[in-house]
Every structure is written in structure tokens, then in C-alpha cells.
């Protein structure tokens, strides 16, 4: 299977034999080092230090903000997110009280009203919040930060819980992008994962977003769910293509019931076989390519005129904890329980449960649970993995000049695997330039893993998803 011009960064080939040969698990590289490498040795004082570095001019770029809203009305059995199942909206009022404390503390460390170029509300279900609660949170953020007119402000939507009026309210509050969870339109599959969602309510939300002037609508699909077949997923995909979202993510369901308890309610006998999953993926990527969608990387697609597709063509695509982005080179401040942020050369993660999160703030401390300050080797490898994941290429000469290394000497341990993947046709390497070949682009996580020193040298308890 070949798509687009062979020299286009969006061009890929589905080499089934290679995909089966390199079958395995690995990180998604929304960060490097990955979150399972964060340690409790990184504490509040370290996070405050790097926040204050911004205030003395070390980094004047606008910020990205992420707010985690952990509440959901009902549980989706496939979900691996940090969430709290409740129908009590009063819990959200209390949560917002504590978010206010955290925002005020973070803002005091920054010492000036910082500009914001990107915002994302994730969860859980951000639209668990009422219109009034959403307005309260946005007012809080706008009080402490200056939101730029050209910014990208997105929110995850559950169509089952949102009216058209709320979509217009979100536009009024400043949101200009929405991400809509669909997963699958087949009734039997929806019943099996406890997420029953009609096409009508999904279409209503998406049409409301378009009527309200949202710049972009993205949708999430999952393959590998119970009772899915090639034919059933084809039906869902045809309906989604008819809807015409600007962006589309096709995620591989990772069945890890020992890690995520809700998945224990899924009947493993109903899961499609590995061969069927690969059939579904092969069918789906071809169908999306035929429909004109551009392959962005990994499991993401976009219309040719979408900003992600433009960023890919222009070599300025980025990647952060929310996935592919045009603004991921910004420092990102995470707010709320379990949220992750990136400030300067550090990553930090907040307490993962509400009791610990509330207790930290009650005692006057930021709720930092763990994190990591990157050393020079981490920063070098992060730049390599970012380049491979986002541009499918790497200039050895530029890397040597920026980081003051000799590539062949520094990565002598990695060179045999680079050569092996070159022989397999996944990449080309002439000593000066690494180019991911079309048949290696769907296997980009495998290629990035070559440069993951932590993965090679240190064991982890993390359970990674399949690389494809």
C-alpha cells in the first residue's frame, strides 16, 4: 500500500510482513524521558525553581496550559485515564476551589502575567462541568494569564453529555477547537464497552461546533475493541468520513486489565485476534488515505488544509503530552490532579488522587508528586526522538553542531540497530542524514526506541501499548 508522492513526509507504506516481524510494545513518546522515568526525588522546590527561571527572562515564549478535569458520569470499560466516576456536580465545585489555589500559587511563582498560546482541557470528561463551572474556570485562568488571540484553545467533548447551547457557550468562553470521542458507532461494540452514543447526538455536537465558528473538529476512534470486525469498523469509518472531521485519531486499544481495573469488565473472548486487528488497521489507513486525509504520524490523520498537515509539510510539527501539536515547543503548565507539565528542562506530575492533591494545597504546597530534570544526554535524545516522530528525518550535521558531539562516536551502541533497520528498509542513513522511509513511518515508535537510553538501560514497571 502506497500513498501520496514518495518524497512527501506524509507518504507511507503498509508493509504487513515488516509490521508483523517488529510486533512489540513501546512508549508513545509524548515526552522523553517517558513519564514512567519520573522520580519522587524531583520535588516542589525543583518545580518552583524552573517556574521562577521564566520570570527572570530565561524563557519568554508564551505558555501552554493543561487542565485536568477528572470526573465522568459513567465508566467506559476500555478507558485508561485518571478519572473519578460520580454524578455529584458538587464535587466539581470543591475541585475548582482547589484548582483556584493551585493557579494562584503557580502564578505567584511566575511573577508576571504570562501570555498563553495554547490551552487544553482533558479528563475524565471536561464537560462534566456545568456551563457556570466552565465559565468559572476560564475566568480564573484569564485573570492570571493573558490569552493571545491567535492561540489554540481546545477541549475534549463527550457528545452524550453536551448540548448545542453548551458548544456555543464554549465558543463564547474562547475555545476554538474540540476533540470528540466516538470510538465506534456499532451498537453491539458500544454495549460491550459501556459507551452507548448515537450518531445523531454526535452529529449535533459537531454541527454546533461548526455553526459556532470552531476552527477545528477532531474525533477519536479505537480499533481492537470487543466485537469489532473488518466490516463493522469499515461501517464506522465510512460514517466518520462522511462527517468530515478536520483531524482524526485511530488508536490501538491496549487491553491491560491488570493495570486498568475497568477493563476487567471486557470479555477477552470478544476481542478481535491480532491478525484481525492488523486487517482493520490496514483497511482503515487505506480508507483514510483514499478519502484525502494526510498521515501525520503514528495514528493521527488530518485534512490537507489543517494546521497539523501544514506543520508537517513545513517541518515545524511538534509533539507533547496531548499528542501532535503546532505549539509543543512552549513550556506547558499542568493544572489539576495527575496533570503533567514541562517547564524548561524539567517535567513534573501532580498527585494522582484527590485526597493527596487537596492535602498538599491545604498545607500551602504545590501538589508535586514526582518529576525529572533532564541532563544533557536526555535533551540530546529528546531532540532526536522529536525530530524522528515529527519530521521523519534527522540532520546529523545539525545535531553535532548544536550539541557538540560526534554522532558516530556518541551513538556507537545504537549504530548496529540503525544499520539493521536500514537493511530492512525502514530508514536510510548515509552518515550525514537519517531519513525514515515510507515503510518505516507507521513503525516510527520502533525507530525512536533505538535512541531511548532509559529503555535500554533501566527496567520499568510500566506496561507499554503495542507499537502498532
The annotation places the binding site for [4Fe-4S] cluster at 72, 76, 79
Residue 68 φ then ψ, to 5°: -95, 120
Least confident range from 16-30, 125-139, 180-194, 342-356: namely 16-30
pLDDT (tens digit per residue) in 70-123: 999 999 999 888 889 999 989 999 999 999 999 999 999 997 899 999 999 999
Q: How far is CA 265 from CA 75, 96, 270, 322, in A?
A: 11, 31, 11, 27
In the sheet with 433-436, reading across from the earlier edge strand, the strands are: 393-395, 433-436, 427-429
8 Å CB contact between 79 and 222: no
Q: With a cut of 70, say whether residue 411 has pLDDT above it.
A: yes
Q: With a cut of 60, say whether residue 6 has pLDDT above it.
A: no
Q: Does domain 1-33+375-456 have CATH number 3.60.21.10?
A: no
SS (H, E, C) 18-31: HHHHCCCECCCCCC
Going from N- to C-terminal start, the domains of the chain cover 1-33+375-456, 35-333
Q: With a cut of 90, say whether residue 127 has pLDDT above it.
A: yes
pLDDT band, very low/low/confident/very high, at 314 (cuts 50, 70, 90): confident
8 Å CB contact between 138 and 176: no
Least confident range from 301-305, 323-327, 386-390, 397-401: namely 323-327
Least confident range from 220-229, 272-281, 322-331, 381-390: namely 322-331
* % of the chain surpassing 90 pLDDT: 76
pLDDT (tens digit per residue) in 178-190: 999 999 999 999 9
The annotation places the binding site for S-adenosyl-L-methionine at 66, 78-80, 123-125, 156, 183, 195, 220, 254, 340
The residue behind cell 518545580 is: 47
Close Cβ partners of 342 (under 8 Å, ≥ 6 residues apart): 31, 320, 321, 331, 332
pLDDT (tens digit per residue) in 261-279: 899 999 999 999 999 999 9
- The pLDDT assigned to 459 comes to 67
Q: Does domain 35-333 have CATH number 3.80.30.20?
A: yes
> Greater confidence, 3 or 289?
289
End-to-end CA distance of the chain: 16
pLDDT (tens digit per residue) in 435-456: 999 999 999 999 999 999 998 8
Average pLDDT over the chain reads 92
The secondary element (H helix, E strand) that includes residue 400 is: helix 396-403
pLDDT (tens digit per residue) in 139-165: 999 999 999 999 999 999 999 989 999
pLDDT band, very low/low/confident/very high, at 58 (cuts 50, 70, 90): low
pLDDT band, very low/low/confident/very high, at 461 (cuts 50, 70, 90): low
Q: How many residues does the chain have?
A: 468
Give the span between the Cα atoms of 310 and 306, in whole angstroms.
6
Q: Exposure pattern of 12-37 as b/e (b: 16+ CB <10 Å)? A: bbbbeebbeebeeebbbbbbbbbbeb
pLDDT (tens digit per residue) in 210-223: 999 999 999 999 99
Q: With a cut of 90, say whether residue 362 has pLDDT above it.
A: yes
Q: How far is CA 408 from CA 177, 415, 423, in A?
A: 43, 7, 18
Provide the grid cell at 206: 459537531
Close Cβ partners of 400 (under 8 Å, ≥ 6 residues apart): 406, 407
- The pLDDT assigned to 9 comes to 58
- The pLDDT assigned to 11 comes to 79
8 Å CB contact between 435 and 7: no
Q: With a cut of 70, say whether residue 2 has pLDDT above it.
A: no
8 Å CB contact between 345 and 33: no
The annotation places the binding site at 66, 72, 76, 78-80, 123-125, 156, 183, 195, 220, 254, 340
> Checking DSSP bridges between strand 294-297 and strand 300-302, what pairing results, if any?
antiparallel
CA angle at 377 for the pair 374 and 381, rounded to the nearest 5°: 95
8 Å CB contact between 348 and 341: yes
pLDDT (tens digit per residue) in 12-46: 888 899 988 998 888 888 889 999 999 999 999 99
- The pLDDT assigned to 5 comes to 45
Amino acid at each position: 500500500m502506497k500513498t501520496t508522492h514518495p518524497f512527501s513526509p506524509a507518504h507511507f507504506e503498509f508493509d504487513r510482513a515488516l509490521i508483523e516481524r517488529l510486533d512489540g510494545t513501546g512508549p508513545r513518546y509524548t515526552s522523553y524521558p517517558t513519564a514512567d522515568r519520573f522520580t519522587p526525588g524531583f520535588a516542589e522546590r525543583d518545580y518552583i525553581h524552573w517556574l521562577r527561571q521564566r520570570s527572570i527572562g530565561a524563557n519568554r515564549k508564551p505558555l501552554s496550559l493543561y487542565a485536568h478535569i477528572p470526573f465522568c458520569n459513567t465508566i467506559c470499560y476500555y478507558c485508561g485515564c485518571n478519572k473519578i466516576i460520580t454524578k455529584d456536580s458538587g464535587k466539581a465545585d470543591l475541585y475548582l476551589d482547589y484548582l483556584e489555589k493551585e493557579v494562584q500559587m503557580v502564578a505567584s511563582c511566575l511573577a508576571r502575567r504570562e501570555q498563553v498560546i495554547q490551552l487544553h482541557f482533558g479528563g475524565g470528561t471536561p464537560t462534566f462541568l456545568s456551563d457556570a463551572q466552565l465559565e468559572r474556570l476560564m475566568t480564573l485562568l484569564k485573570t492570571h494569564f493573558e490569552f493571545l488571540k491567535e492561540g489554540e484553545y481546545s477541549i475534549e467533548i463527550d457528545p452524550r453529555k453536551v448540548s448545542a447551547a453548551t458548544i456555543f457557550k464554549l465558543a463564547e468562553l474562547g475555545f476554538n477547537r474540540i476533540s470528540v470521542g466516538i470510538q465506534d458507532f456499532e451498537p453491539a461494540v458500544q454495549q460491550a464497552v459501556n459507551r452507548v452514543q448515537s450518531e445523531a447526538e454526535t452529529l449535533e455536537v459537531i454541527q454546533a461546533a461548526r455553526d459556532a465558528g470552531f476552527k477545528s473538529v477532531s474525533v477519536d476512534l479505537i480499533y481492537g475493541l470487543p466485537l469489532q470486525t473488518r466490516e463493522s469498523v469499515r461501517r464506522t469509518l465510512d460514517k466518520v468520513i462522511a462527517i468530515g472531521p478536520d483531524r482524526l485519531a485511530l488508536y490501538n486499544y491496549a487491553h491491560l486489565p491488570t493495570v486498568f481495573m475497568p477493563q476487567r469488565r471486557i470479555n477477552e473472548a470478544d476481542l478481535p485476534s491480532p491478525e484481525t486487528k492488523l486487517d482493520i488497521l490496514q483497511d482503515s489507513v487505506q480508507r483514510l488515505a483514499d478519502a484525502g486525509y494526510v498521515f501525520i504520524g503514528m495514528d493521527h490523520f488530518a485534512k490537507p488544509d489543517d494546521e497539523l498537515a501544514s506543520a508537517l509539510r513545513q517541518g515545524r510539527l511538534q509533539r507533547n503530552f496531548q499528542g501532535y501539536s503546532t505549539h509543543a515547543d512552549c513550556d506547558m503548565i499542568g493544572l489539576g490532579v495527575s496533570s503533567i507539565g514541562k517547564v524548561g528542562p524539567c517535567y513534573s506530575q501532580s498527585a494522582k488522587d484527590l485526597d493527596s492533591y487537596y492535602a498538599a494545597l491545604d498545607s500551602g504546597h504545590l501538589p508535586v508528586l514526582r518529576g525529572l530534570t533532564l541532563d544533557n544526554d536526555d535533551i540530546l535524545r529528546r531532540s532526536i526522538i522529536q525530530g524522528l516522530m515529527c519530521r521523519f528525518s534527522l540532520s546529523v550535521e545539525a545535531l553535532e553542531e548544536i550539541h557538540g558531539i560526534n554522532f558516530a562516536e556518541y551513538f556507537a551502541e545504537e549504530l548496529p540497530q540503525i544499520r539493521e533497520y536500514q537493511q530492512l528498509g525502514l530508514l536510510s542513513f548515509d552518515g550525514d542524514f537519517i531519513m525514515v522511509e515510507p515503510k518505516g513511518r507507521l513503525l516510527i515508535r520502533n525507530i525512536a526506541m533505538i535512541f531511548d537510553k532509559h529503555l535500554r538501560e533501566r527496567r520499568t514497571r510500566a506496561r507499554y501499548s503495542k507499537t502498532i
